[in-house]
A and B are shown apart, each in its own frame.
Chain A
Amino acid sequence: MSANNEVLIVKNLYFRYPGGDYVLKGVELEVSRGEHVLVIGDTGSGKTTLIRAITGLGTLLYRGEMAGEVYIAGVRLDQVTPEKLQRLVHVVGQNPYLFFTDYTARDELYSYALRVYRDPNHAKRAVERAVETMNIWHLLDRYFYELSGGEARRVAVARALVADPVLLLFDEPLMWMDDHGVEDFKHILSLLRKLGKTVVVFEHRFLPILRLFDRVYLLERGVLVEVTNLVRDAIRHAHLERWSELKATHLRGSRVLVSLRGVSHSYDKPVLRGVDLDVFSDELIIIYGRNGSGKTTLLKIIAGYLKPTKGRVARACRVMYVPQNIPLFFTEETVMKEVESICKTWGRGVDCIKAGAKALQELKIPREASPFNLSHGQMVKLATTLSRLAGADLVLLDEPFSGLTYVDRLRLLEHLKSSGVAAVIATSSSDAVGSGIWSRAYELDEGVLKPLRADRVGSIELAARIYEEIKRGAGA
């Protein structure tokens, strides 16, 4: 088998966590040397579990039960030592900040190289090679938490290249990435192709990077199905010339909930400059801007949590804020306790609790479920439902799309449209946010709020249709 060209072979792989049902149910996959493969699938479909199974983490760390065979570069997974494994495969995780075990990129790369090669000269050469390849000389002495998402990802890939592994696995690399980060990742993929590296990317936000892969697979209900041709057909059918779509048609109410006049704000440097905005009842507003463009600051000013350094804010309603790290919104062990707690706090009585229980039924969330175990989409919907129960007229959502598939994005918008609560959504990705559901769309650029140009965004409806067509074609 080692003489073959296959770098990764997965045969009839089954995996389950202790006490749980099987997450992977007979996965089959073969990836050849130098090939770039994309695995798409819903949140919770088992993408991360497949990575854990391929790297042996599933059994080593999670004590899961695994059946089937995994070969990496011809070596059977259960016959490889951890030291050898890190020379064969490298995982770049969802959150690139969470692999740093030292404060600076230089220390991190060098100490990792020393661990791999055990010889200072060899380690130094390996680091220099990786740094040169990724062109990150300027990042070496910066603290890891000062790096942008894209920069941290580049350092993570450089670390992967230090050990010169035969296989690179990326777990949702576009998570929390703005459009610049996406472009950066596309560049990384091109670079890895030039280096002849074998790459498998697991990602549900797949449209911006689709063209960079040789084959595409769909992971659904624990089974992997090749959908390369289905994806090509679906994109052809979707008439991508109509990709740019932003018809703000959703009607708004007449009551002004929040009014901002000439709002400016500064930290070390100006973040917002003279922002004017009226938010009306029932409307859905999207604010697009790059990471660090001041979107979160603007949301916190609308919420009344931050006072602007200049300008006036008039608020005539109750406002809720749903953060990017959505688990921070929840405070109770079960969703029903969340309902009871919010109804009790705002003095909204038994009817509120009954309405909450009914809403949970409609959302198909069991009353005893922990809010922290819900999918990202369910968490966002639960947060908006709780906001409505609290009597809030306006919900501010910071990057709610980052963990959602295209279909889930659309469902969330439909949920918001029917919820009777106005919403302002901040997002840093433009690839699938355009929709007729919005009342208004803005771009925050260099602190200035201006109307978002339709040609800057891709349509959610179209992206969701492509994804559904792929799933239908795959028989999922």
Chain B
Amino acid sequence: MAQALREFSQLFVYSKKLEGFSTLSRLCFSTLLVASSILAGRAGDDVGVALSSTTILVVGLGVLSYFKGVRSVLRALTLVALFISIAMAIQWTGYLLGWLRPSPMSVIAGTLWALTLFIAFSSYFQLLSLREWRSILNKLRLKTASLLLSLVVLQMPTTLIYTSEAFTTIKLKYGGKRLYKVVLPLVILSLFTARSYAEAIALYGVATEAPLTLHKKRDILLYLVSTLQVSSTLLIDMIV
């Protein structure tokens, strides 16, 4: 579990390989990925949703794998896959027992769409560095939001590791019952961590904003992939 959580947290970490592309092209790519994912949910029937979602997933995962390596992206998805499998198992059981109405195709389409949305939103943090986010938010005069975002995203890997540790402890303490009680110690520990960050920031400030770049030579590749992906989503939407 700890390993899966650690790998899951990689989904929110930026890769240095991205610096060959401008901030604008990466922001556009992520935004178009999110917009397409939202559109995919409205792509007619279940087959349409499944097809659109699969197309976006292939493009999204392909681009992320190019930057971060196939293995690390697939490993990071272990936990997501686990939760989706559990959800699917529950839905299938409900379907077989006649408790739930959705057809098997709806379950598959819903699952793929949820995964697509997750990948699309996480791409904002995988393709843009925290410093770039701080710059963007500061330019929008959202200084407090920029600071909060840094605190939240930086705490994510450690908080996920704490979560795994808390589950082990509470499961044994209460004999597998009352697992919801992990919430209070996790909140308290996050407050302790936030206090330490606050001390560091009060003394030494946050990292300097990054320069935001508008164009770089290789941007054309990202724009091309984005165009192909949006076109295919729209095409599927029209056909189905």
Give chain A's interface residues, CB within 8 Å of chain B: 52, 55, 57, 60-61, 82, 85-86, 90-91, 93-95, 97-104, 107-108, 111-112, 114-115, 141, 143, 145, 267, 300, 303-305, 318-325, 327-333, 342, 345-346, 372, 386, 390
Contact = CB atoms under 8 A, between A and B. Distances in A.
B207 A101 contact: yes
A104 B154 CA distance: 11
A303 B162 contact: no
Contact of A331 (B162, B184, B206): B184
A46 to B, nearest CB: 16
Nearest to B156: A145
Contacts of B178: 331, 345
Contacts of A82: 203
Given A93-B199, A328-B186, 18 more contacts: A55-B203, A94-B196, A99-B200, A99-B204, A101-B207, A103-B154, A108-B207, A111-B207, A141-B16, A305-B172, A319-B172, A321-B172, A327-B185, A327-B188, A331-B178, A331-B184, A342-B173, A372-B188
Interface string B185-210: 11011001100111111111111100
Nearest to A104: B16
B130 A328 contact: no
Contacts of B144: none
Given A111-B207, A321-B168, A328-B169, A95 B196 contact: yes
A345 B174 contact: yes
Interface residues of B, number: 48
A57 B199 contact: yes
Contacts of B16: 104, 141
A57 B14 contact: no
Nearest to A95: B196
- Judged by DSSP, the binding face of B is helix
Contact of A325 (B14, B130, B170, B189): B189
Contacts of A94: 196
A437 to B, nearest CB: 25
A101 B150 contact: yes
B158 A97 contact: yes
B130 A323 contact: no
7 contacts: A60-B202, A85-B203, A98-B193, A102-B207, A145-B9, A321-B173, A323-B168
A372 B186 CA distance: 11
Contact of B13 (A103, A141, A342): A103
A267 B3 contact: yes
Max count, chain A CB within 10 A of own CB: residue among B170, B184, B201, B204: B204
Given A327-B185, A328-B166, A320 B172 contact: yes
Contacts, number: 131
Given A55-B203, A345-B175, A100 B186 contact: no
Contact of A327 (B154, B175, B192): B192
B41 interface: no
A149 to B, nearest CB: 13
B165 interface: yes
Given A86-B203, A103-B13, A115-B205, A305 B171 contact: yes
A60 B205 CA distance: 14
Nearest to B3: A267
A91 B172 CA distance: 38
A454 B196 CA distance: 38
Nearest to B201: A101
A211 to B, nearest CB: 30
A209 B150 CA distance: 36
